[in-house]
Amino acid sequence: MRVVMFGYQTWGHRTLQALLDSGHEVVLAVTHPKSDHAYEKIWSDSVADLAEQHGVPVLLRNRPGDEELLSRLKEADPDLIVANNWRTWLPPEIFDLPTHGTLNVHDSLLPSYAGFSPLIWALINGEREVGVTAHRMDAELDMGDVLLQRAVPVGPRDTATDLFHRTVDLIGPIVIDSLDLIASGRAVWTPQDRSRSSFFHKRSLEDSRIDWTWTAEELERFVRAQSDPYPNAFTHHRGERLRIVSAAVSEGRYGGTPGRIFIREGDGVVVVAGAGARSGRLPGLVVERVRTEDGAEYAATEYFRTMGGYLTARP
């Protein structure tokens, strides 16, 4: 088949590499220009560089739909478009152009976690597995019929970084297997169960702000979901932003006001957590490592030299 690829960052890079390895002819790659957005500066392997290394023509676009792009797509005459981590909606004159339409590769187990940053949101919400879905693109973002899915389990101490590495390794096999099914006429497309669908927005700084009324279990996942190199979960101490690099749920149960810097436990410092903390029946969050605004990182027992005081959502 003649294949056009739309994609960006490492997800798009892995997809293009799979297409190059598949034996099909990659006739054009469309990708975004480099961005200064925090979440787009990480996992930023270049689709453009990979395409150029293999003699594949490249177009850079923030958004699709201009006449030059449409003309180049028609000239390429693709049998299939494959997309992964394309950051804007593709119009029907693009996704319906090829004979076999457009295959989109999305890093969640659709219909759950359509949209943006699915691994982070899934970890925050305590999902037991994550994965990758190959589905047909239609007019509704990430809602088209499913061709293949692959899943991996979420371990009790997994970070978003761990899940990224585990799921990005699924991209190559699922792309190659999907193309084999489509090219051979054996593809079976399964409609998504809309009653189970969920859609998540792009993340921003506000989404990393800690609310100490959440339970310790929720906060511990929140910290793991924003592991390096992602922007970390943060709070404020004495008016200054403080990033929580690692944390655990306390063994003991602690009462008081959420956000109170309370007592040492093990290798960390317990911060009271949970809206019901005044009952004294809830565990706290053991803060293990922190990072200040100047980038310096400390063990929590070194940073919090004395107990008392509060961590707050805002200065």
Task: Tell the burial category of 85 from Cβ atoms under 10 Å away from its Cβ (0-12, 13-18, 19+).
Answer: buried
Per-residue pLDDT of the chain (315 residues; tens, 9 = 90+): 999 999 999 999 999 999 999 999 999 999 999 888 888 889 999 999 999 999 999 999 999 889 999 999 999 999 999 999 998 889 999 999 999 999 999 999 999 999 999 999 999 999 999 999 999 999 999 999 999 999 999 999 999 999 999 999 999 999 999 999 999 999 999 999 999 999 999 999 999 999 999 999 999 999 999 999 999 999 999 999 999 999 999 999 999 999 999 999 999 999 999 999 989 899 999 999 999 999 999 999 999 999 999 999 999
pLDDT at res. 86: 95
pLDDT at res. 40: 85
pLDDT at res. 271: 98
pLDDT at res. 78: 98
pLDDT at res. 56: 98
* 3-state SS record for 146-189: EEEEEEEECCCCCCHHHHHHHHHHHHHHHHHHHHHHHHHCCCCC
CA distance 243 to 235: 6
Beta carbons of 103 and 147 less than 8 angstroms apart: yes
